[in-house]
Structure 1
Amino acid sequence: METTDRLSEIAGGHDRPAFKLLVSCPFGLSPSEVSVVFDQTYDRIPHPDVTLENNISEIWDKRVQKNPSLYNGLKFRYGGHTLSGRADFSQKTDVCLHLGLTDYRTFVGTNLNPLWERFLIPSEDDWRRCQHTSNPLGNGAIVETADQEIVVLQRSNNVGEFPGHFVFPGGHPEPQEVGITSHHSDEELTRQMVNRKVSQEMFDSIIREVVEEIGVPATALSKPVFIGISQRVLNVRPAAFFFIKCSLQSKEIQQLYGSAQDGYESTQLYTMSMSDVAATASKMPGCHQGGFALYKLMVDAMKEK
């Protein structure tokens, strides 16, 4: 884990940085080193202020009136994590993610609410501070091309969050991809089996997002490694970040992007050097700025290894 001084340095030393690193794994973790406890204990707790709670529905209804295509999909809710050291002195730390359920409607009505700060409670513990917010766990990928460039997308102007901003490919792990529609599954699955399926979805989903957003085949991508979780300071939005190598050159990726399944979510794909990404980072949402900070920590750790 990094020190507060080091993280402030990465964030640019501002009084209120754009992001906070909740988990940092600079040596990268494989699926066997990332576990999940999926439980309703980590669901959002309703706010005691009834007026504030009612505001969630009001905001959602107004958004739907403006955009009838909005879909209230289920999402995994980030409810914290635990770390455990390794006995082999490899400098790695296994991570267990604590996940509950939430949905897009509640995300719009809490995290994206103009009054989002009223949903927070004063606490040094991040899970407790954010217990009344939706906090769906997003994901993002630092995709490195065969010619050592990094893939960056510019979001289209019709997306719900940060239209026109630069981002890394990503989206969300999806509960319904692993058959989860509630905490009470009809299937005869043990709690351990459900946890394993959710953990695997963390890694499967980021490959799926990269393939759909930039158009490269999954066979051109390495197995993802988990490098941490970044939280956007603005509306406390969390996102898990992964590092993926692509066997294709930048020009090949540019050609494939034109036929990407979810290409409508972005207007342009760029491949940039690390220094160019650093110069562009200020135009990224805070959680993606944090994703780049996690990547830089990984690069530094590999140099020192």
Structure 2
Amino acid sequence: MAHIVKFQPCPRPPPPDVSESSAMDPDISVELQIPSPAELTQEHVRAELAPAYNRQPLLGQEARIAETWEERRRQQPWLFDGAKFRFHSAELRAGRLLLRLGLTSYRDYLGTNWSVQAPALRRQGLADWGDSQAYLAEPLGVGAVLCTADDRFVFLRRSDRVAEASGLLDIPGGHPEPKAAAGDVPEESIRLEHLSAELVVRELFASVLGEIRDEVNIPLDSLSRPMLLGIVRNNRSAGRASAEFYVRCRLTSEEVRQRYLIGGPEAQESTNIVFISRQDVLALEEGASRWQELCPSAKGGVKLYSLVHTELG
């Protein structure tokens, strides 16, 4: 099992400097850019798990989270809670990446990052801890900039059954799941001491392929190994972080379309599939109408891809 780091909560390190071009859209901010994604393999990534990286408790907050969850469940009864990895910070040094992670849940995400009180929680976190995210759930997401064999990039139109960004274009994605790294421990009982840091990293890379399989219905053996492009924050959900990957598919866009129409386990999350050429993807930011059709996670993936695409070959 993992060695759990124990120390007092500390302020979040400032994000590394990125190019000025990364500050173009208020919906997203680049937390971390990998300069050479092809050289940063899964073996160069390490997870540090610590109680200090969990969300900090705040008087009265738990009751508000419970009320928010019950209200959302009344509106969208198909929603379900689940354990998630909480992103605290990341550090890239000498070609190796350190991810500092705690635990959180989807329920807590809707009750903090996605609540109307999120701006106040961020101000309070900054005042109390020197960290605007201290009182937020901050579940780490994953997204895939997915390119077909005929150089078309895959986007999905989000359905109205999803909890956020319905109707917008997204890239395949979701969350790495602690239950995949916790063995036989029931999900509601998972604690940091149940997790292996090595298995957490493995799940991070495996989860993005699993999301492509489940949302687009593409077999895993048709997908390349994921290359981590970096980490982007979604400013529409109070700075929630997502790890964005580049993945090649051995199928053509028409073959992918046919697989998508058959439907996968998570087909209900989208209503349509859209293909955009590589040239047009690189120009998306310049076209205001199509760019504004993208949800923040898709904007983040496209932004990181545009910053490093020459390194990918």
TM-score category, normalised to shorter length: 0.7 to 0.9
Say whether residues 1:283 and 2:280 are aligned partners. no
Count of residue correspondences: 280
Q: 1:6 aligns with which of 3, 10, 21?
A: 21
Contact 2:217/2:259 (<8 A) preserved: yes
CA distance in 1, matches of 2:297, 2:120: 21
Q: 2:231 aligns with which of 229, 232, 252?
A: 229
Q: 1:45 aligns with which of 18, 40, 56?
A: 56
CA distance in 2, matches of 1:183, 1:127: 24
Shift of residue 67, structure 1, vs aligned partner: 2.8
Say whether residues 1:165 and 2:180 are aligned partners. no
Shift of residue 127, structure 1, vs aligned partner: 8.5
Q: For residues 80-99 of structure 1, what are the structure 2 equivalents within 5 Å?
A: 80-85=89-94, 93-99=95-101
Letter in 1 for 2:92: L
CA distance in 2, matches of 1:127, 1:206: 32
Contact 1:26/1:295 (<8 A) preserved: no
Secondary structure at the counterpart of residue 92 of structure 2: strand
Q: TM-score, normalised by structure 1?
A: 0.86
Shift of residue 298, structure 1, vs aligned partner: 1.4
Q: For residues 58-207 of structure 1, what are the structure 2 equivalents within 5 Å?
A: 58-85=67-94, 93-121=95-123, 123=126, 128-179=131-182, 181-185=190-194, 194-207=196-209
| 2:269 match | 265
CA distance in 2, matches of 1:298, 1:127: 32
Structure 2 residue runs of 5 or longer lacking an equivalent are 1-15
| 1:188 match | none
| 2:11 match | none
CA distance in 2, matches of 1:150, 1:257: 14
CA distance in 1, matches of 2:310, 2:200: 30
CA distance in 1, matches of 2:69, 2:291: 31
Structure 1 residue runs of 5 or longer lacking an equivalent are 86-92, 186-190
CA distance in 2, matches of 1:30, 1:291: 18
Q: TM-score, normalised by structure 2?
A: 0.84
Q: Identity across aligned pairs (percent)?
A: 30
Shift of residue 205, structure 1, vs aligned partner: 0.5
Secondary structure at the counterpart of residue 231 of structure 1: strand
| 2:305 match | 295
Shift of residue 2, structure 1, vs aligned partner: 5.2
Contact 2:170/2:297 (<8 A) preserved: no
Contact 1:139/1:173 (<8 A) preserved: yes
Q: Which runs of 4+ in 1 moved over 4 A?
A: none
Secondary structure at the counterpart of residue 141 of structure 1: strand
**In angstroms, what is the RMSD of aligned CA positions?**
2.1
Shift of residue 291, structure 1, vs aligned partner: 1.4
Contact 1:174/1:201 (<8 A) preserved: yes
Contact 2:113/2:137 (<8 A) preserved: yes
Shift of residue 300, structure 1, vs aligned partner: 3.8
